[in-house]
Amino acid sequence: MYNNEQPDELLKLKKKTFFQKIFTTEYNIGFGTPTTDACSKCIELKGKVKNKTNAQTKNKFMTDMAFHKMRYKAFFRKLQEKREDLLTLSFYCQKNLVLPKVQDQTAYYSRQIYIYNNFSIVKGSSKDGLSPENVFCYTWMEHEHKKGANEIASAVFHQLSILELLASVSTIRLCADGCGGQNRNSIIIGMLHYFLAKVAPPNIKEIQVIFPITGHSFLPDRVFASIEKKLQHSTIFRPGTDLNIYDWKTFAETYFKKTGSWHFKFNEAKRFILTKSAQQNVLLRGETSYNSDISTGKLIVKKGIKIKSATLPGQIPMGVALKAVKIQDVKNLLKKHFGETWTTMEECSFYQNVLETMTAIHEAEDLEQDEFCEGHENEQLADRV
C-alpha cells in the first residue's frame, strides 16, 4: 500500500522485511484462536506457577509442568512415528448430533434423536494427509445401535479385517483416548486377542494400544473439522449394511479373567502390548511409560481356555428401544416447525421413516429399563425441565 502511493521510484521500499521487523518487535500483538478443550492439568499448573511468589514452590510446579509436557509429547512422538514394519491407526468419536436440526428455540427443551456421527479411524501417522483412502467413518443412529464398547470394538475389528496389510508390517499400533466405556476396557483387549490369534495374517506379530495423557487426546479431531466443512472427506461404513456389531462384551466375560486379577494395574497402564507366543497363544503386558518396557507378557485367559480355539461372538441385532416421550417430543417439534401436514412433506420423509421404525421398536421392547447410551446427559436434563 505504501509503495503504490509513491510516485517516485526512489521512495519505494524494496523489502517487506522493513515493515515486518517493526511490526513483530515494536508491537505487543499476537494472533491465534481461543483455546478450547484445554488440559485441566496444564491450566492448574500454569495458575500455580503464576500465583506463587515463593521461589522454591514455584520451581516445584515448573518441574511438574515440564514433566507433564514431556509425557504428553512422548505420546505424540508415538503417533508421529513412521516405519516400514509399523502401521498406525488412531480412532476417536465425534460429538453426538441431534435431529431434527432446526433453529426453533423449542428444540433446546425437547428430546431429540441422536445420530452418532461419527466414529472415525485414521490410517497412518499424524504427519500423513487426510483423504477417503485413509479416513474411515462409522456412523449410525441411536435407534439402530448403542454407542458403547461393543460398537467401537466391532468397528475397529471390521477395519483391521479389511485392511490391506503389507508383508513388511509386523506391528499394528492403535492410538485412542482413554474413555473407559468405549476404548479403554477389557472388551477392546478381548477383541484384539481374537483378531491376533484368529484373523491377522502371519506377518502380524504384535498389536500395541496406546492411550494419551488426559487432556491431550487430540487424535483425528482435525478430521472432524474437515468433515464439518466438506462431507466428501472419508469412506463411510454403516452397521447393518457394511459391518456387523458383535457381542464382544460377552466374549470378554467368557474367555478372560477380570481386570483386577491381571498381572499389572489396568488403570495405570498407558500402553497395552499383545504379542503372539510360540504356541500361538496371545500374551499381554501393560506399561505405565511410553518408552520403557519393564512389564512381562502373560496370558489373561481363564484357566483351561486357549484363545486360538475361541469362536466369533454372536451378532447384536439392530434396534434400540427409545422412550415414548422422546418419540412424542420429536413429533411435536416437527409439527411445530413444519406445520400440521409435516407427515406429507417430502423434505420430512426421512423423519417419517425413522419415527415409524422407532415406534415399532418401542412397541416390541420393554421400556421399563431406563438405560442410556453415553452422551445422553442432555436427555436426562430435558426430563427434569
Three cell numbers written together for 375: 452422551
Containing 57, the helix (H) or strand (E) segment is: helix 55-80
The span from the CA of 183 to the CA of 55, in Å, is: 42
Helix axes 324-338, 349-364, angle to 10 degrees: 160
Amino acid at 150: N
pLDDT per residue as tens digits for the range 269-295: 999 999 998 777 899 999 998 888 888
Give counts: helices (H), strands (E), the chain: 10, 9
- Mean pLDDT (the chain, rounded): 83
Position 44 scores a pLDDT of 83
- Among the residue ranges 106-120, 138-152, 190-204, the one predicted with the least confidence is 106-120
Closest CA to 362 of 330, 322, 328, 332: 322
Position 297 scores a pLDDT of 93
Report pTM: 0.78
pLDDT per residue as tens digits for the range 121-151: 988 877 777 788 888 999 999 989 999 999 9
The pLDDT confidence band at residue 363, using thresholds 50, 70 and 90, is low
Q: What is the DSSP string of 323-370?
A: -HHHHHHHHHHHHHHH-TTGGG-GGGHHHHHHHHHHHHHHHHS-TTS-
The span from the CA of 342 to the CA of 215, in Å, is: 44
Position 165 scores a pLDDT of 80
- Whether the pLDDT of residue 303 is over 80: the answer is yes
The pLDDT confidence band at residue 36, using thresholds 50, 70 and 90, is low
Position 232 scores a pLDDT of 57
Mean pLDDT of 156-165: 91
Mean pLDDT of 153-160: 96
Cell numbers 509399523 correspond to: 86
Q: How many CA atoms lie within 13 A of 261 on its CB side?
A: 8
- Among the residue ranges 147-161, 317-331, 368-382, the one predicted with the least confidence is 368-382
CB 129 within 8 A of CB 233: no
The span from the CA of 80 to the CA of 152, in Å, is: 23
Containing 141, the helix (H) or strand (E) segment is: strand 135-141
Mean pLDDT of 72-82: 81
In degrees to the nearest 10, what's the CA dihedral of 74, 80, 85, 87?
110
Closest CA to 186 of 119, 103, 245, 269: 269
Position 280 scores a pLDDT of 75
